[in-house]
Amino acid sequence: MAVEPAAVEEALFQIRFRELSREALERMAAAGQEVMEIRRRLARTGDNIVGELIKGEDTFYEWNHYPDGDVYDAETGSQFFYHAHPADVRFGEHGHFHTFLRPAGMAPDMNPAAVPDLALPEGPNDALSHLIGISMDRYGEPICLFTTNRWVTGEVWYDGADVVRMLDRFAVGHTQPSWPVNRWITAMLRLFRPQIAALVAARDDAVAAWKVRRASRMGRHSVYEDRALEITSYRRIAVEDQIRAVEGALAASRGGGVSGAGPAAISGS
């Protein structure tokens, strides 16, 4: 798994929660409550997000998409699946979610980036964009967010600014195959929106830097199809730390101080 060093460094900067709007903080706080409530309800029966999604499967196979055929909300254009790579390249994760938005959920002015090797799929709803990956540990807890190069998911490349705009449009509102998982993954993109936005920006910087550095080696080959660049940015996360930071910033915005409320800014955990 090749990671662009500059992208990693960029991804570890501090999120300044007190500089976020009150409205943004309240959305994040509500999402945090949703994530924690789903965790509590699943824990009552010894379950977790990953177990809930793959329940009923006799064997969990590497590379297979779970559920089969992915989860897709036709009303919002939102899509996700879970899978795992071979154990020797997982680096402590059980597997990870990939999240996407299809054109059906995009704003009319969102178009694929004008990259040199742009090739659009035939179907009008097939030019999907990858949003963010969410790594999960063996206990079913999220541990990392990451972005990928284009070849990894077969997406169509969109400028980072448009991908960030897409985040607010991601929502899986139906009940299949799991209502808790659908709600959880929707809430995760709300709770960690600032980090995801930073990671997407770091993704674009990493690809640009990689293209310059390896221009002589790639020749006429596309940077977006370079198998040597897979993960373009990543950062470790902890749900509880994020919630404390949001609550602290909200308390400060109300003029109540942050005593006991946790840090107002956090970096990579």
Summarize pLDDT for 70-108 with one digit per residue, the tens.
999 999 999 999 999 887 766 789 999 999 999 999 999
**pLDDT, averaged across the chain:** 89
Torsion of CA 167, 235, 55, 48, to 10 degrees: -100
pLDDT single digits (tens) 137-194: 999 999 999 999 999 999 999 999 999 999 999 999 999 999 999 999 999 999 999 9
The pLDDT assigned to 221 comes to 77
Average of per-residue pLDDT across 255-266: 48
What's the structural domain count of the chain?
A: 1
- Residue 45: domain span: 5-266
Measured CA angle at 239 (ends 102, 5), to 5 deg: 70
Is the model's pLDDT at 268 over the cut of 90?
A: no
Buried b (16+ CB within 10 A) or exposed e, 221-254: ebbbebeebbbbbbbbbebeebbbbbbbbbbbee
Is the model's pLDDT at 257 over the cut of 80?
A: no
Does the predicted TM-score (pTM) go above 0.85?
yes
Phi-psi region of 261 (alpha: psi -120 to 50; beta: other; left: phi over 0): alpha
